[in-house]
Structure 1
Amino acid sequence: LQAVDQYSQYGEVLYISGEESPSQVKHRGDRLGLSGDNISIMSETEMESIYDYVIRKKPRVVVVDSIQTLYSSNFDSIPGTTTQIRECTLKIVELAKTHDISFFLVGHITKDGKVAGPKLLEHMVDSVLQFEGQEGLNYRILRSLKNRFGSTNELGIFNMEEKGMVEVKNPSEFFLSERDEKNLGSIVVPVLEGTKIFLLEVQTLVNESPFGIPKRVVQGFDRNRIQILNAVMEKKIGLNLSSKDVFVNIPGGIKIYDGAADLGVVMAMISITKGIEISQKIAAIGELGLRGEIRKVSFVDKRLKELEKLGFSGVYLPYSNKKEIENNKYNLKMIYLKNLAELAERMK
């Protein structure tokens, strides 16, 4: 509804509600403080009636909530079936192309987080955007799964407040607001998501395994990548974790795909295993190779500026990035590393 209100500034918007009555939609709009100007609400689920109305009124934007409630009277199957979703979407695509109308289709998702209905639905639209959130947390993550107009790696962070969804202007500060001055098994990593840099905390915990098979519990990071990092640490610096339970967590519900977070994970593991505290103003950037080398990462200048902006005092980073940034001035102490052996020596 907030998006509908914004689009209404540029022309007539039609909101087709297949799940709620117009009075329910209006009540939500009043609660959010929306004006309602240039917004029409239609409580209809028959595709033929919607088709005729849209051709007659020609709104600038149409929102369908939800596509699973629509049906075509030309078919006997019930709403939400593969046939109905496909045929209704085809009609909508025809309307959008013929009359230059933008359509937003709200869809249900399955238990594993995928768009419900035939895969064809995702192929027929220009963009697929998904809101994600964890129970008990006020913020929501808007993630692009498909985008014909740009990158699919972009993220938007929104906070759920009394007046609706509010954009979080500084996500890094938002995610790092609860850290202590000194931390065991925890460090900050600047990761790249699309064109944005997010500062995220990597938390690790290592315990003696009371059972024969040690556990590997990972949230927000690639579990196979953790296995590789553990193997490299054991081989190159003698940090034996094969008989211990290892837990890795990225607080906030965001999953890290950026290889530049490897060095942060390794430092957090060494910290918790050897009892070495890490200052909350220290960060780590670097990808780890199988030979124990710390490899060059991309967009290092952008990552350093984000750390500087949030008041960090030092950063561990690959030596191979030194030439790229040595002429730039940062209010950060640079600690360059070539390999794991140098890191282990510094963290004694």
Structure 2
Amino acid sequence: MGDLLNKTIAAIKPLDKDAMARAAARQDMLTKPQGALGRLEEISIRLAGIQGKPIPVIKNKAIITMAGDHGVVAEKVGNYPQEVTPQMVLNFVHGGAAINVISRQVGARVVVVNMGVAGDLPADIPVVNKLVARGTRNIAKGPAMTEAQAVQAIEAGIQVVNAEIDKGLDIVGTGDMGIGNTTPSAAICAVMTGQSVVKVTGRGTGLTDDQLQHKIEVIEEAISVNRPDPKNGLDVLAKLGGFEIGGIAGVILGAAARGVPVVVDGFISGAGALIAEAIAPQSREYMFLGHLSVEPGHKIMADKLELKPIVTLDLRLGEGTGAAIGIFIAETSAKILAEMATFGEAGVSEKEE
């Protein structure tokens, strides 16, 4: 592993139990029956542990959307041409995508990162350039990337999130863009959860039954050809993954090392989360699952990570859309803890013993 990755892993600490206990005690004093706000209470308490503050603060928010292409599109696993990836990057930059709309509503900045777009992008657009290569190799024929490239992708994610934290960041969401990326994500899911390819593979952008069967066969071939070690996150990423998936893993690890909560988006972000958790198991405590995608493998990922989705809206877009919605709810939970009156402050009688 690289020096930055090793240092980042070493910096990930357990959550602050004292801050969590004090947050929980305050929740129990607020003007409501204990536990009446359900998951909002749970989220605020974990935020306290992550930030090391009894009353967590969420003000500065960002979605980091990683873009990368995949050589496996040569196997005809989807319905869209690879040209869509750079076109959508331009759409992000111009503020016209779903993630831009939701982020404006939530008050989060959108950071777009070129991890491995195969097509050309204008040199003067506000995109963070962390290009590892112009797309991965075809996983049905061999490894997606070298191990050195896998480390480079993860460390690029760490660098990006570190730069955003240095600007001011209280919570971050992960996002993705890349034609064909549900195929490597399903491969990663199958290997790292031990589930069959059939169980974890969905229709992506709307495949027919025949197309879905072909996609399953391509993923099975990729796993057979590459024989990744399910206990080695770096090996799985190098053999089956994508540069944007590695970047997402890096964002999660980097944020955890700096005490910043991470809201994980959908299926592709879930693949990045599996890689991050395999490399540094402690990082899982810093993750929230923004939503539950309709991709069948996403629930399997969530179960492996032991994360409950904040919302279930039948989303399947990516970009960071579900993460942005999750950030809004996480911020709401923190505001309730900070701003809601206690029984004593409000002069309201508590329940009788």
TM-score between both structures, scaled by the size of structure 1 = 0.27
- TM-score of the superposed pair, with normalisation by structure 2: 0.27
Name which structure has the greater RCO, CA cutoff 8 Å, separation 6+.
2
